């Protein structure tokens, strides 16, 4: 098996990117071919596969999100168990591509975030982050050198540890004549803005607020676990928006806080969802109206970020949407109405699968790491300086 130095000498590499987001739907595995690195990098998707978590594993992951119910021994075990699932995802995508593991040069794994405590003014905690999915297990099970723990170096340098995809967005999607925004709607929503003719230091990016996370949690509660999400936004389409509830949620302090900023389950997770359900009872809001209001809330938080922090400084020509939220037709209709006349397009329109985009990004970040390239953007994360991201695990 090649060393990391030998991998770096190869002009063309086959790399797997592994990603599980805040929705915990499964492990997204993207197998790509990468030529070159840095501004010369060219990426081609060979295969994409989502490897689902079993219901028991998924439930145990959700238990880890609750500090009052998780334990050190469970965190220890789940780190290795999740690593096994990530390894299985890598093996599955290679099999789907009709290739052998011996043909794969490198794996980049984001892992599963279970807790994220970014720097905040007057915070009474040590800024830190924890992604599970033991990379040593992935490297051993697959026989492929693996790079993981991408967030920690940025946090060590005083950054938020996220978002990390904007560097890849800049490499792959920068335009000389158009200012574009790449809006990802996963469990959490985030945006990358790339001004026309930008250098990497001109890129702006941030979490905008909740994506599918609250909708998913409320749907699971309302249906007693039968539905994990609102399929194509059909449930929301049957309801009407409660303006009093929407106005109350839009007062959330995260939404008005200036970037750089990141968020996650600690802010918009199950506790927020339980609060939403209690408020619905107080306001006598029925289930379809509640999901309709949550869907409108997600759309409004995305638009409000642009209105507050981007539109005063930039004229955006196009917005490209990726992530699971792009399949929610009710959410997309809200966004199209809010952003009109700016066109909202699928990320597929610029040559990348909207579902595979985040997993592809971690394959690219791994490729950049073996070349010693810093891949955080300090103006995005708030870090004190550019950092090479990732911890290296030989096969």
DSSP string, 273-327: HHHHHHHHHHTT--HHHHHHHHHHHHHHHHHHHIIIIITTT----EEEEESGGGG
Q: Are strands 106-117 and 12-20 parallel, antiparallel or unpaired?
A: parallel
Any domain includes 352 = no
3-state secondary structure of 360: helix
Give kind and range of the element (H or E) at residue 194.
strand 188-194
* Domain contains 128: yes
For the chain (length 395 residues), average pLDDT per consecutive 10? 90 97 90 97 97 94 86 96 98 98 98 93 92 98 98 97 96 96 95 97 96 96 94 97 96 94 90 95 95 98 98 98 95 98 93 92 98 97 97 96
The predicted pLDDT at position 122 comes to 84
Note the pLDDT of residue 167.
98
Q: Which of 234, 212, 206 is nearest to 326 (CA)?
A: 212
Q: Do residues 239 and 290 share a domain?
A: yes
350 falls within a domain: no
Compute, in degrees rounded to 10, the torsion defined by CA atoms 84, 88, 90, 96.
180
| Tally of domains within the chain | 2
What the block records as the tokens of 234 is 């059909």
Asked whether residue 26 falls in the same domain as residue 125, the answer is yes
- Domain span at 112: 4-164+357-393
Q: Is residue 351 in some structural domain?
A: no
The reply to whether 14 and 146 lie within a common domain is yes
pLDDT (0 to 100) of residue 1: 62
Quick one: 153 and 212 in the same domain? Answer: no
Rounded CA-CA distance 223/215 in Å is: 12
18 and 160 share a domain?
A: yes
């Amino acid at each position: 098996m090649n060393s990391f130095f030998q991998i770096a000498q190869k002009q063309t590499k086959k790399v797997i990117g592994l990603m599980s987001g805040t929705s915990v739907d499964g492990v997204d595995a993207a197998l790509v071919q990468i030529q070159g690195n840095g501004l010369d990098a060219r990426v081609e998707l060979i295969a994409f596969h989502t490897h689902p978590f079993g219901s028991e594993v998924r439930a145990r992951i959700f238990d880890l999100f609750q500090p009052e119910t998780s334990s050190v021994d469970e965190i220890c075990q789940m780190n290795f168990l999740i690593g096994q699932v990530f390894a299985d995802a890598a093996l599955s995508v290679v099999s789907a591509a009709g290739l052998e593991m011996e043909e794969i040069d490198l794996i980049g794994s984001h892992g599963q975030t279970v807790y994220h405590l970014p720097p905040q003014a007057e915070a009474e905690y040590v800024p830190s982050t924890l992604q599970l999915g033991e990379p040593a297990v992935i490297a051993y099970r697959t026989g492929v050198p693996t790079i993981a723990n991408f967030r920690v170096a940025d946090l060590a340098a005083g950054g938020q540890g996220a978002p990390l995809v904007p560097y890849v967005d800049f490499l792959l999607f920068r335009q000389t004549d158009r200012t574009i925004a790449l809006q990802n709607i996963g469990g959490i929503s985030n945006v990358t803005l790339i001004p026309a003719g930008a250098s990497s230091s001109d890129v702006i990016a941030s979490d905008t607020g909740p994506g599918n996370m609250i909708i998913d949690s409320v749907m699971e509660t309302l249906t007693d676990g039968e539905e994990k999400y609102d399929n194509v936004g059909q449930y929301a389409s049957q309801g009407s928006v409660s303006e009093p509830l929407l106005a109350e949620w839009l007062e959330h302090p995260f939404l008005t806080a200036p970037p750089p900023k990141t968020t996650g389950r600690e802010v918009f997770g199950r506790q927020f969802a339980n609060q939403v359900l209690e408020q619905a009872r107080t306001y006598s809001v029925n289930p379809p109206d509640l999901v309709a209001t949550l869907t409108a809330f997600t759309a409004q938080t995305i638009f409000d970020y642009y209105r507050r922090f981007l539109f005063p400084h930039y004229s955006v020509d196009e917005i490209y949407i990726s992530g699971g939220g792009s399949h929610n037709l009710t959410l997309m209709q809200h966004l199209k109405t809010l952003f009109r006349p700016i066109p909202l397009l699928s990320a597929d329109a610029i040559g990348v699968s909207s579902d595979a985009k985040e997993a592809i990004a971690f394959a690219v970040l791994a490729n950049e790491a073996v070349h010693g390239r810093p891949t955080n953007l300090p103006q995005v994360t708030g870090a004190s300086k550019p950092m090479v991201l990732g911890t290296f695990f030989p096969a």
